[in-house]
Structure 1
Amino acid sequence: MSDLLRLATAGSVDDGKSTLVGRLLYDTKSVLADTLDAVQRASADRGLTTPDLSLLVDGLRSEREQGITIDVAYRYFATPRRTFVLADTPGHVQYTRNTVTGASTAQLAVLLVDARRGVVEQTRRHAAVLALLGVPRLVLAVNKVDLVGYDEVVFARIAKEFAAHASALGFAEDSVVSIPVSALVGDNVVDRSASTPWYSGPTLLEHLESVPVEPDPHDAPFRFPVQYVIRPRTAEHPDYRGYAGQVAAGTVRVGDEVTVLPGGSRTTVTGIDTADGPLAEAAAGRSVTLLLAHDLDVSRGDLIAAGDAPEVVDEFTATLCWLAEKPLAPGARVLVKHGTRTVQAIVTELLSRFDEQALASTGAPDALRLNDIGQVRVRTAEPVPVDDYTRDRRTGAFLVIDAGDGGTLAAGLVGAPLPEPDAPRAQAGGVALADGRALVSPGP
């Protein structure tokens, strides 16, 4: 049975993300015949002689009309070695919020750059977001190498610059690899290109098939946000009381001792129900209904936890990726959605702002604006059980919501520190390629 890799694409506008995803789907024969026919007809209507593979991903009508990606497009495909869930995220600055969404559960990100332009402002912004979200592995896909004559020096210069930036953001040297590709032509995407004889590493697909996968947090402490309390009160089930939700982290077994938070009551799991029948255990990602030994006051928004329980707090420090046009000022009253619990909150203080271009933290800003990344202090009206994001990505994350219109304002990471630049590492002169060799590029 093949394992699963969750990955996301990122990069600036027109770097070719949708075309790259389309090429992966097309060359791995993961496209249905009628879908391919529709793309060929749409391409012919535009006067193209070959299929525009980006149309396999850009499904919204507004995306096709504008030629840009707006929403996160999820695609599923498989090879004999591995199954993939891919999130194709927008490149435009306006839709950075969707990049955060698509990358939030990724185990690897493919960050594209245009070989003609190299590393640009949005590339550095996306790399910073990926670092903050804790995405463990990056692939730098230097796209459109055919448009620079398959020049090894151009590729090496871009890869060296990005390696320095990624190192300063905290990515380990062996977690970032660089691959020269042409999504339009297909060079080094699925099939190896004869036009890059100087590159001996694997193709993009070969790397995706072989890269070590960070496992789902089955071994993490058990976390279960309660979504719904089930009480049918029928003649057949007069005393049934179950707590429905999805296991966010860890594994729960019948007989496990658990704690219900924020109240702190302790009890034992007596049953794990599903639509297909009872289970002896359930791991992260499984939707189940838990039965507990004691008749406790448990409602939607509570967290059932085991092991090292999260801290219950009404004030905490967090990093925010601000996603709204409306700026955030100190003292703003908002809603915080953590798991299935939504509480009123105040952002009491703006502690610092991260400049993802200069890789430096500034002092306390007067406001956080669209696409700003900053550290803040939050006080909630009710206690909430939170994990540090660096410990558990699922229960350490939250959303900031506008109390007036319900719009999403920010993605929050509990306790996540802003990246600290590492000057010596940022000056490294070599670039890690996908085959592990060092490609030394000339100076800038």
Structure 2
Amino acid sequence: MTRKLFGTDGVRGEANSWPMTAEMALKLGAAAGRYFRVDRGNGHRVVIGKDTRLSGYMLENALTAGLTSTGMNVLLLGPVPTPAVGYLTRSMRADLGIMISASHNPSQDNGIKFFGPDGFKLSDEAEAEIEAMVAGEIRLAQPQNIGRAKRIDDGVGRYVEYAKTTFPARGRLSGMKVVIDCANGAAYKAAPEVLWELGCEVIPVGVTPNGRNINERCGSTHTRTAAEAVVAHGADLGISLDGDADRVMIIDENGEVADGDQIMALFAARWADAGKLRGGALVATVMSNLGLERFLTARGLRLERTKVGDRYVVERMREGGFNLGGEQSGHIVMTDYATTGDGLMAGVQFLAAMAETGQKASELARQFETVPQLLKNVRYAAGQEPLDAEPVRQAIAAAEERLKGRGRLLIRKSGTEPLIRVMAECGDEKILNEVVDHIVAAVEKAA
């Protein structure tokens, strides 16, 4: 079955435009409720979390209406990180978990992500079945079986306590000064609380959400704000999350940023030394730097690559029995602790490495030399297919020929935004810039 509603991370779009309308959210809620409901009376439950976007209220109410109409009992968590929804779905024995968030996207966007009863995101096949149900006739519950909805006040507290358990029991972070940038998003309560309770002196940034300022000049896609705070306060570390806190960027004491590749390299090396890295491999996407692959190979470890999207990383991890994976963009997936990327827990693990080794963040955050990499995005209008244009095909073929034996090229459509992503790696930066600019110009003309 093909999917039109679902992208690489649930359903996403601009609020009050298809598919992010109240009407569609109601249908999605009803379809998901019917998909997960089995005939056992009123024992079904679904947990719903959200980030801090204004449109979250609208979508939350619409989803609740759809879910209760099919007999699901809804537990409303309020603003919580995406990984908290994965954790609480399993912890609270829910049949289904839903996160309302567009992650790192601007405030006018929103999205709906689904989790199964095991706390993991749904497969492509499950999403396709739900999408097919949206387009058809959904069987509603009998009047006596309509579900109830109530707010859960301790959802954040449950997640905070669990996140703290991922820090080594013998460790303590007293005296550690940490900047935490919550992107005015879902972790604005949980993240500072976890770090403070672990003993840190906490400098919070991006913790005053107003419904419209999520990811605005802050968070993992705008690390300058946290970097400036680290330097200004003389902090030991900066942890910069995105709007739903499933991504992280690490900032060292000098204000320098380490991306997901560097964080994964550190964890992979430490876990391998401790005998904790299952399968002798790290799972990452095609976007991860060649330098990471060379770093792992030199240590007798493997890099398993997947297509872009943390859900595909997780699928490969589960298939192969691996316990560490992620994306260059900052999704760090540690299945010993969480079912999806968790920026806060990754930050806690980085702090644990600092506490255990006595090394500064700058000494831990530079594990390998990156191969020069350039990524440019080209926006296109709905309905266009610029990659099908013959001039674009010719530009890509010419670039591949020029990079042969020197680097690699990756062209793809974003699964969450109307963007063509043009990425190349090459040791010769002149060639790198020329091939990327040539393709970008061709795509822009076609778009």
* Smaller-chain TM-score bracket: under 0.3
TM-score by length of 2: 0.27
Bigger-Rg structure (1/2)? 1
Greater share of strand residues, 1 or 2?
1
Greater share of helix residues, 1 or 2?
2
